[in-house]
Amino acid sequence: MHGNGTGGTIAGTGKFLKEKKPDVKVVAIEPSNARVHVGGSMNPHTIVGIGAGIATHFLSLPTDEMGNSLPLPEPKPVEGVVDEWAHASSDEAIEFASKACKLEGMMVGPSAGAALKVACEIACRPDCAGKTLVVMLASHGIRYVAHPLWSAVKKEAAAALPAPPNMDKEADVVQWRSSAYSAA
């Protein structure tokens, strides 16, 4: 499972894995409200790093017998290295990224949260019992400090931490002068 940004990572990794084990299944993840790869329309979402609203056609440009590219069928899913196009909502991505941080100590971003959500769903399928699932978590949470993902943590920290020291730009650099306390 991997969130689909530019498509390069899932295309390369998926191709390599399928060469080594042809029955491997590759699952790409899109935002629930921007499912352009399955014929949906682009809508706003907060899963930064995936779902740019542009179908990554290079994942599987259909070709004729001579290897010439054919136009993509619309609105069918793009075929090729990706076997399934899964999805997660913005809220689900934030929920799973927060759980990964709080429960597992993994500070991941929203696209990784979306990948975890889909991985959990797939792991619960009866046909996945006893199988190995690999999830690529390509985003570190520190890159998203302004994202709504961290709003609750920032609010809690602001209430718990003391106010910062005097940040007045006009104040003397040295605010304690030893000469004031020495014998003259």
Per-residue pLDDT of the chain in tens (184 residues, 90 and over written 9): 545 666 777 888 888 888 899 888 888 888 998 887 777 788 788 888 787 777 776 555 445 565 555 554 543 444 578 888 899 999 999 999 999 988 998 989 889 999 999 999 999 999 999 999 989 887 787 887 777 777 887 888 888 877 776 677 776 666 566 666 666 5
Q: How many CB atoms lie within 10 A of CB 98?
A: 18
Integer-rounded Cα Rg, in Å, for the chain is 24
Residue-wise burial string across 28-37, b where 16 or more C-beta atoms lie within 10 A, e elsewhere = bbbbbbbbbb
- According to CATH, the topology of domain 2-162 is Rossmann fold (3.40.50)
User: Nearest-CA neighbor of 47 among 123, 139, 132?
Assistant: 139
- Measure CA 18 to chain center: 23
Q: How many CB atoms lie within 10 A of CB 180?
A: 6
The residues spanned by each domain of the chain are 2-162
> pTM surpassing 0.85?
no
CA separation (Å) from 113 to 98, 118, 128, 139, 170? Answer: 8, 9, 20, 9, 44
Which amino acid is it at 154?
K
The encoded tokens of residue 84 equal: 């399934």
Instruction: Show the DSSP H helices in 24-125 as ranges.
Output: 90-104, 110-123
